[in-house]
Chain A
């Protein structure tokens, strides 16, 4: 009887190697090694967007996307919620108002708790109004979209931060918020929708950048160390791809079979 599921041996080895690379870099950082993360203009722009909203006396919309906490797009949602944590603390410290449109019911209690914790940390728990700030709209894709369009028209937010999973509604959201004059920071991994955010948003996080957002914003050196481990593995992946391509072109047999082990 086989212990490792068929076709997943290489995937498991890769995962274990990746985990080791991340842990090694975290240890190196703990040991005093300096690791710097490159500047992400879109994340730096969040402060600017919040400041602009405060000056204009308008609210800030932070959208963690259409995804839920389970399934294929859970990681995108977790990344969005990490940014929500940062945004809510900044927004509250500046005395501005935050609106969070929610699509999936399982995201709502978590988003609500994140914002509530931020108000508690700022010593202003009485200012948190869950129904008005954490707006549960609908799990239906376009009902949620129309709900956000309505919020945009009524509230006219000065800043709109959209980081999470977005699908066909991406362009509708970005254009609707651009129309009300919001400074927009977008971030997503859905390759079909990235061009739409690039066209409509002022700043965009592309692909993996959204997963680094939590570590980047928290400025936690250990978390940043894990990103360095990821970068090391990226180099290994690139070398493996080039080597595999050359070996396949040279007619070395067994490369596809090896990957599918």
Chain B
């Protein structure tokens, strides 16, 4: 029985839900639309429960660090759990539209996220330094293309030679766009094949039972 529950029931549920959502997408039958909406709502509810599991995971791990006074860790664990509790208490009390809740979000989370986003430029610079070295033929092509596009975008490029914007735009509009579309079409077919394998129970890796 446990073997049936462990293997076949999740595959049967995947097939049934997958087929309902598949039919809902392609057919204009209102009853199936209602079923599809209900299934999606159910998914949101399950995700909310999973969020609770995530919080338990954080409390178990970081609570342990605080208790054991783990070197170079416990103080950060304390900060994390304090922030988590603060958000939970204020959120439960006021809801996500509450003024204090919004103040905390807008003055802590938003600037921190913006800082990380801004830091991407530096990571790109360090990545480009390592990648743009003419060690092989392919790397040399990458280097030349990178330099042309750099000179297309930087003000000094057009000032040096007005051909840089033209060549750069050709690379972006023709070469890059063609490659992007090829990758996107390939990915779409890959998603379709993965979806079919998942629906018919052939793709089981995500269930950990290969």
A168 touches B120 (CB 8 A): yes
Q: Which of B113, B127, B210 is A174 in contact with, Cβ under 8 Å? A: B127
B209 within 8 A of A: yes
B203 touches A85 (CB 8 A): no
Q: Which of B61, B64, B120, B180 is A171 in contact with, Cβ under 8 Å? A: B120
Given A146-B116, A172-B119, A215-B197: A130 and B126 interface contact (C-beta under 8 Å) = no
Q: Which segment, of B45-53, B95-103, B156-164, B167-175, faces chain A?
A: B45-53
Given contacts A191-B180, A234-B186, 17 further A-B contacts (CB under 8 A): A8-B25, A26-B202, A78-B198, A82-B203, A105-B50, A106-B50, A108-B50, A109-B50, A110-B206, A171-B123, A172-B120, A178-B127, A189-B183, A196-B127, A212-B193, A230-B189, A237-B185
| A214-B202 Cα distance, complex, nearest whole Å | 10
Min C-beta distance of A241 to chain B, whole Å: 9
Min C-beta distance of A88 to chain B, whole Å: 8
A11 touches B26 (CB 8 A): yes
B57 within 8 A of A: yes
B206 touches A223 (CB 8 A): no
- Chain A residues with Cβ below 8 Å from B130 are 178, 199-200
B112 within 8 A of A: yes
Count, A-B residue pairs, CB within 8 A: 205
Scoring A68, A134, A199, A233 by chain B CB atoms within 10 A of each residue's CB, the highest score goes to A199
Min C-beta distance of A219 to chain B, whole Å: 9
| A124-B64 Cα distance, complex, nearest whole Å | 23
Q: What's the interface size class on B, roughly?
A: 35 or more
Min C-beta distance of B78 to chain A, whole Å: 15
- Chain B residues with Cβ below 8 Å from A38 are none
Number of interface residues of A (CB under 8 A): 90
Bitwise, A214-238 to B at CB < 8 A (1) or not (0) is: 1101101011001101100110010
Nearest 10 CB-CB pairs, A to B? A82-B205, A208-B190, A114-B208, A211-B190, A199-B131, A105-B50, A142-B116, A117-B208, A208-B186, A81-B206
Interface of chain A, helix or strand or loop or mixed?
helix
Bitwise, A69-111 to B at CB < 8 A (1) or not (0) is: 0100001001101111110100000000000001011101110
B144 within 8 A of A: no
Closest to B47 in A: A106
Given A191-B183, A194-B183, A207-B183: A140 and B190 interface contact (C-beta under 8 Å) = no
Closest to A72 in B: B191
- Chain A residues with Cβ below 8 Å from B187 are 189, 207-208, 211
Interface residues of B (CB under 8 A from A): 25-29, 40, 43, 46-47, 50-54, 57-58, 60-61, 64, 72-73, 76, 109, 112-113, 116-117, 119-120, 123-124, 126-128, 130-131, 180, 183-187, 189-198, 202-203, 205-210
| A227-B194 Cα distance, complex, nearest whole Å | 9
28 contacts across the A-B interface (CB closer than 8 A) = A3-B28, A4-B28, A5-B28, A18-B193, A70-B40, A78-B198, A85-B206, A86-B205, A86-B210, A105-B47, A105-B50, A117-B208, A135-B61, A139-B51, A140-B109, A142-B116, A145-B116, A150-B76, A172-B119, A196-B124, A196-B127, A198-B131, A207-B183, A208-B187, A209-B190, A214-B205, A215-B197, A222-B202
A2 touches B28 (CB 8 A): yes
B203 touches A215 (CB 8 A): yes
A109 touches B27 (CB 8 A): no
Interface residues of A (CB under 8 A from B): 1-6, 8, 11-12, 15, 18-19, 22, 26, 68, 70, 75, 78-79, 81-86, 88, 102, 104-106, 108-110, 113-118, 130-132, 134-136, 139-143, 145-146, 150, 154, 168-169, 171-172, 174-176, 178, 189, 191, 194, 196, 198-200, 206-212, 214-215, 217-218, 220, 222-223, 226-227, 229-230, 233-234, 237
Closest to B128 in A: A199
| A150-B131 Cα distance, complex, nearest whole Å | 24
Given A168-B120, A214-B203, A222-B202: A3 and B27 interface contact (C-beta under 8 Å) = yes
Min C-beta distance of A256 to chain B, whole Å: 17
B53 touches A109 (CB 8 A): yes
Min C-beta distance of A72 to chain B, whole Å: 10
Scoring B53, B109, B187 by chain A CB atoms within 10 A of each residue's CB, the highest score goes to B187
